[in-house]
Every structure is written in structure tokens, then in C-alpha cells.
Amino acid sequence: MTVRTRFAPSPTGMLHIGGARTALFAWLYARHHGGEFVLRIEDTDRERSTEEATAVILDGLKWLGLDWDGEPVFQAERQPEHIVAVDQLIEEGHAYRCYCSKEELDEMREAQRTAGKKPMYDGRCRHRSDRPEGAPFVVRFRSPDEGETIVNDLVLGTVTFPNVELDDLILLRTDGTPTYNLAVVADDAAMGITHVVRGSDHLNNTPRQIQLYQALGLPIPQFAHIPLIHGPDGAKMSKRHGAVAITEYREKGYLPHAVNNYLARLGWSHGDEEVFSRQQLIEYFDLAAVGKGASRFDQQKLDWLNGHWMREAEAADLVAEVARLLAVDTAAGPDLEPVIASLQERSKNLVDLAEGARFFYTAPSAYDEKAVAKNFKEGTTELVEKFIAGIEAMDDFSGEAAHALIGQVCEAEGVGMGKLAQPIRILVAGGPVSPPIDLTLGLLGKDESLARLKNGLAALKQ
């Protein structure tokens, strides 16, 4: 059997951390077994589904590197097949038309509540023989009255549902559109899904879906319900915990693999290891190692992993994203790759790195006042002017040569190198932070370094 998993988001909102983790687990399980991972957009809610949300979901999955096999399937386009399944269930006695009005249903439920019973449909239309002309109706599934429906879950183990607690589910609404449970069963069967990996909030749907598979004579996939993600305080995830669109993590400068590495560890473990390459995640991942309890979102651990993968990344692989975040013309400045390499070690994320790189492409128009007050003392201007003269006299400029010149000027004047290096940094970068001064000057080049030093001194004198 070829393992075939799916991710089936509803395009009524953005792709969030929980959905991204579900997609990741389904993707990893398929790739671990050499199987297929497919994508289905569950867009049957035509009023709330939007093309924008669909585009954001696809963009988020692509950013995370969760490639899918084949073209995405749009559930709304499969409605004729859903109707065929409903017709089969009616014909074989597993479903029936229900003509109950809203008022009748409300009265029924209120009577049940008064009697201390669980409000649920009582099956009164199961044996109804008349068909009121022109009256609206829904189609309901005839759920078994006795016995149990057992879910043998790959994460949660055996979960048993007494059939008496499952009322007759609506399959087709009065407007002729199929409901979630019917459409999911028909689509998963048609797409050959062998393993349904989804959040544990879907567990209550599973016994109903198993009954539908059985009634339609379809093979039942294996289910794996992943416990939900909570905030650090144990409460339901919210925006303050990080429950934002996955694309916001991209805008905040996180690396996609750092996010994947972190999401994989939210509920799954491989010993005490925290850091995994993409290939290691595929090699090690197993649904049997997913915990049954809710996971807690830890922003600090995500930041730590992002810092780790920032340092491990090849600078060339970061060029496109840093250029996007910089949003300035880098053509007139140094190549971005060595600039990135000079900043990687100290950068927490790509936004941090891009901001650190910005001065290489945009000359400072203002200077950090505290840094100027601290580093520009009596005699500092003269030191800088001697350094400028030395640079102008150089035939073969380089960062190493500029660094050596700083040492020579400072030695001749009897001061420490910091007395000159830090003022130079402030003049060329606008503030007290940059890569090592030799790297900084070497990347800027002779002409740009001289221009910034002279312009900076002139500005400070004013």
C-alpha cells in the first residue's frame, strides 16, 4: 500500500500555526514512507471562502517547503460526486429525507432539555411516507441505534463512541449542498487517502465518518488525531501566543526550516533532540511518537532554533529574502552575499539581519547622538582626518589595509584602537554597531568609505 495523506484547509481564513503543524505532520508521514501528500481546498462554504485566503494558504505551504503531489483539488468542484453518494445512501436505506421545520426541531430539543436529556434529533422522519409537495427538506444519515463505533487512532489509541449518542447527521442541506462530513468522506475515498492526519478537535466527527464509509462500502482510512497547541499559560492559542498567519512569521524574519523544526517538536519527539535537518525530520518522523497531550507554544524556543539555523544557513540561500526585506536598490552597493555572511553570527532573524545590512546600501543621514557623545572627544576629528589622508594615499585599498592603518594612526598618536575604530564605524554606519571594522570598510570600498567619512565629519561639525 502506498501511503497517501492530505491537508485539507478551508479558505475562510489564513493558515495558522496549528494548521501548518497538521500539514507538516501529514507531509512528514507521507515522505517518511515514500508516499504521496496531496492538497484539497475545502471551499464548499461559498460565502466565506475567498481566493485571497486560498492564495495565502498556498503561499504559506510553499514557503514552508511542504510540496504537494499533483494539482490542488477544490472540493466545491466535486459537488456532483457528493450528490451521487447521497443518492446511493438514500437508495440503499442508509439515508432519508427530513421535512422537519426549524420550529418543530426547536420544540423537540426544548422538550428533551426539559426532560434532562441531551438535545439531539430523534429520527422522527425515518419512516415518514408522505412527501409534502414543494416543502423544503434535508437529507439525513440513518445512524445505527445500537452498538459502538470504534476509532483505532494512531495517536490517541482506541476511542469508543456509543452509537446511541450519535444522532442522524444531516448530509445535504435544504439548498442541495453537501455538509462537511459527507463531502470529506466522499473526497478522501476518491483521492485514495490512506491516513487522515488532523487536529483532535475533529475527533467527534470521526465515528460519523466511519459509519458513512461503512454505509457506502468504502475502505476506511487510518486516523491520527493530533492534540491541540496551547499557549505557554495552558490556555487556548491566541494571537498573543503566536496564533497568527504563518506568513507573518516570514515577515518577522523567521527561516522556514526553523519554523518546521519547531513545529515538529510541538507534540513529536525523538529522544531529547531539539535540532533536526529537513532530511532527519523525514527519516525519524513517526506518528507513534506523537504525544497524546496538548503542546505548549514556546516563543523563546522558536527564537533559539531560528538563531541556530540562521548561523547554519548558507549566505547565498538568504540573499533573495534579505533583499525582499531590505526593499532598497542593492545594485550600487556591495554584493549582498558577503554582507549577509558578515552579519549572520549575531542576527536573531532575517529582519534583524536586513536592518543590520541597510547602512551598506543607504548612507546615514543622521548619527546616533549617544554614540557620538560617547566617542567623539577632543582630538577625535584629527584622528579621523589622519585616517582619511592615509586611505586617500592607498593604491591598493582593502579592509585589512584599512585595519592596519587604524593601528598605525593610533600607535603614532599614543591612543587605543577603539578611539579611532568606533568613530569611523559611527561615521560610515550611522551608529555604534556594524560588522568588524575591517569587513565593514572592505565591503563599502575605498570611494564610499571616504565619502561617508568626509560627509560625516562635515555633518558633525555643523
Cβ 147 vs Cβ 141: under 8 Å: no
- Cα–Cα dist 2/192, whole Å: 9
Phi, psi for residue 269 in degrees, rounded to 5: -140, 155
Q: What is the pLDDT of residue 400?
A: 97
Quickly list H helices, 12-167: 17-32, 51-64, 79-91, 102-114
pLDDT (mean) for 419-423: 97
Q: Which of 41-45, 179-183, 452-456 has the lowest mean pLDDT?
A: 41-45
Going by pLDDT thresholds of 50, 70 and 90, the confidence category of residue 239 is: low
Going by pLDDT thresholds of 50, 70 and 90, the confidence category of residue 322 is: very high
Q: What is the pLDDT of residue 241?
A: 61
Cβ 148 vs Cβ 160: under 8 Å: yes
State the catalytic residue, choosing from 62, 236, 239, 292. Answer: 239
Q: What stretch of H or E contains 7?
A: strand 4-7
- Give tens-digit pLDDT for 142-175: 999 999 999 999 999 999 999 999 999 999 999 9
Q: What is the pLDDT of residue 45?
A: 79
Q: What is the pLDDT of residue 432?
A: 96
Q: What is the pLDDT of residue 226?
A: 96
Cβ 292 vs Cβ 159: under 8 Å: no
Which amino acid type is present at position 140? R
Chain centroid to Cα 337, Å, comes to 26
User: What is the CB neighbour count within 10 angstroms for residue 145?
Assistant: 9
Q: What is the pLDDT of residue 242?
A: 60
Q: What is the pLDDT of residue 161?
A: 97
- Cα–Cα dist 165/231, whole Å: 32
Cβ 5 vs Cβ 197: under 8 Å: yes
Instruction: Report, in angstroms and rounded to the nearest whole number, the Rg of the chain calculated over CA atoms.
Output: 32
Residue 229: pLDDT above 70? Answer: yes
The pTM for the full model equals 0.91
- Cα–Cα dist 265/258, whole Å: 11
Cell of residue 219, nine digits:
475502505
Residue 243: pLDDT above 90? Answer: no
- Give tens-digit pLDDT for 170-208: 999 999 999 999 999 999 999 999 999 999 999 999 999
Q: What is the pLDDT of residue 149?
A: 98
Cα distances (Å, whole numbers) of residue 334 to 94, 318, 357, 436, 442: 71, 15, 10, 16, 9
Q: What is the pLDDT of residue 131?
A: 78
Q: What is the pLDDT of residue 279?
A: 98
8-state DSSP, 252: T
Q: What is the pLDDT of residue 323?
A: 96
What is the residue-averaged pLDDT of the chain?
94
User: Residue 300: beta bridge partners?
Assistant: none
- Give tens-digit pLDDT for 56-85: 999 999 999 999 999 999 999 999 999 999
Quickly list H helices, 344-398: 350-357, 369-375, 380-392
Phi, psi for residue 215 in degrees, rounded to 5: -65, -35
Going by pLDDT thresholds of 50, 70 and 90, the confidence category of residue 92 is: very high
Q: What is the pLDDT of residue 14?
A: 86
Q: What stretch of H or E contains 333?
A: none
Residue 238: pLDDT above 70? Answer: no
Residue 111: pLDDT above 80? Answer: yes
- Cα–Cα dist 148/163, whole Å: 5
Residue 232: pLDDT above 90? Answer: no
Do strands 195-199 and 170-172 pair parallel, antiparallel, or not at all (unpaired)?
unpaired
- Cα–Cα dist 21/5, whole Å: 14
- At CA 165, angle to CA 109 and CA 287, rounded to 5? 130
Cell of residue 321, nine digits:
529574502
Q: What is the pLDDT of residue 240?
A: 62
- Cα–Cα dist 80/154, whole Å: 32
pLDDT (mean) for 319-325: 96
Cβ 64 vs Cβ 250: under 8 Å: no
Cell of residue 392, nine digits:
586617500
Instruction: Verify whether residue 370 is a known catalytic residue.
Output: no
Cell of residue 346, nine digits:
549575531
- Give tens-digit pLDDT for 425-450: 999 999 999 999 999 999 999 999 99
Share of the chain above pLDDT 70, in %: 99
Q: 259: Cβ–Cβ under 8 A, 6 or more apart, which residues? A: 20, 64, 246, 249, 302, 306
Cβ 94 vs Cβ 142: under 8 Å: yes
Phi, psi for residue 4 in degrees, rounded to 5: -140, 110
- Give tens-digit pLDDT for 329-360: 999 899 999 999 999 999 999 999 999 999 99
Do strands 95-98 and 138-141 pair parallel, antiparallel, or not at all (unpaired)?
antiparallel
